[in-house]
Amino acid sequence: MTGTTPLPDVQGLEDEEAKRLLRTHVRAIRAQHSPKDRAREAHMFAQHGEEAVADVRTVAAYVSEPGEPDTSQLLGALSGRGVRILLPVLGPGLARAWAYYRGEDDLQRRAPGRPPEPSGPILPADAIRDAEAIITPGLAVDGLGTRLGQGAGWYDRMLALIEPDVPTFTMVFEHEVLRDYLLPRAEFDIPIKAVITPSEWFLLEGSPINKAARALAESAALAR
Ligand SMILES: Nc1nc2c(c(=O)[nH]1)N(C=O)[C@@H](CNc1ccc(C(=O)N[C@@H](CCC(=O)O)C(=O)O)cc1)CN2
Ligand SMILES: Nc1ncnc2c1ncn2[C@@H]1O[C@H](COP(=O)(O)OP(=O)(O)OP(=O)(O)O)[C@@H](O)[C@H]1O
């Protein structure tokens, strides 16, 4: 990432192997994050997340795991404003479903290794079409909107169900916005449109980071 710890060199590796190395790298950095910083940043994520989704009535978001950008404050703030929040529910075999947020106390871990989930009625995968904005978890995102997720392919399948004009966000820490580095992108990887960090939210289209990434993609194509 930018700053102190350079990204691993994934040149010449297969996409899957490159993503695996990158995930290990980001998770190791996240593991060093102090609980105090996390709590402070949860408030900053909430502030920028609220600004980002503006006046939507229904949003899809996620329940953060330790290490991930903390959504607890954002969920509370949005629901306090009356926004309906769809949260992932995993069925058997990682089946993709949703349920509405009913407050923090209602969230429960249904199985080890799976993020906490709401208890309410389970809605099918295509309930995501009710969301006017979608906030995805990510480990990193590049200037073209390519997102590195936890590796389940859960969100790629979900994002394939929505209309192209729905705003999609990824929440990452500052140094996980890759400014001079393009993530491997497979055919099924659907780019996201905007980024939320503790310090800001921004649309990628037309941003300096998007311009830099396009130039990088162009020179990589020419070099081929
Ligand atoms: N906070 C959060 N919620 C999210 C995601 C995410 O990345 N972050 N997802 C993004 O995709 C989906 C859940 N993805 C998952 C993918 C695989 C497993 C899984 O295989 N769990 C194993 C145990 C793994 C372990 O112990 O390390 C299991 O259930 O047996 C769980 C969740 C939806 N919800
Ligand atoms: N639309 C899709 N249809 C079928 N398989 C898919 C689709 N999207 C992803 N996959 C499968 O899921 C696997 C993981 O995908 P990927 O590495 O992009 O996950 P990710 O985006 O990091 O994870 P997540 O979306 O869960 O956060 C891929 O190897 C691929 O086999």
Residue nearest to atom 15 of ligand 2 (CA): 153
Mean pLDDT of 176-194: 92
Q: 34-71, pLDDT tens digit by residue?
A: 999 999 999 999 999 999 999 999 999 999 999 999 99
What percent of the chain has pLDDT above 90?
81
- Asked if residue 137 has pLDDT above 60, the reply is yes
Starting at the earlier edge strand, list the strands of the sheet with 140-142: 147-148, 140-142, 177-178
Distance 14 CA to ligand 1 centre (A): 23
Mean pLDDT of 122-151: 97
Quick one: pLDDT at residue 2? 43
Measured in degrees and rounded to the nearest 5, phi and psi for residue 214 equal -65, -40
- Is 201 annotated as belonging to a binding site? no
What percent of the chain has pLDDT above 70?
98
Quick one: pLDDT at residue 4? 55
For the record, the structure tokens of 220 come out as: 């990589």
ipTM confidence score: 0.91
Q: Which residues line ligand 1 (CB under 6 A)?
A: 62-65, 68, 88, 90, 94, 111, 113-115, 137, 149-150, 152, 154-155
Q: pTM to 2 decimals?
A: 0.94
- Asked if residue 7 has pLDDT above 90, the reply is no
The preferred substitution site among 188, 189, 190, 192 for testing ligand 2, maximizing ligand atoms within 8 Å of CB, is 188
For the chain, give the mean pLDDT: 93
Mean pLDDT of 70-78: 98
Q: 13-37, pLDDT tens digit by residue?
A: 898 999 999 999 999 999 999 999 9
Quick one: pLDDT at residue 196? 98
Please report the domains of the chain, with CATH numbers, ordered by start residue.
Answer: 15-223 (3.40.50.10420)
Concatenate the DSSP letters of all residues of the chain into one string: --TTSPPP--TTS-HHHHHHHHHHHHHHHHHT--HHHHHHHHHHHHHHHHHHHTT-SEEE---PPTTSPP-HHHHHHHHHTT-EEEEEEE-GGG-EEEEE---GGG-B--STTS--B--S--B-GGGGGG-SEEEEE-SEEETT--EE-SSS-HHHHHHTTS-TTS-EEEE--GGGEESS------TTPPPPSEEE-SS-EEESTTSHHHHHHHHHHHHHHHH-
- Is 20 annotated as belonging to a binding site? yes
Quick one: pLDDT at residue 1? 46
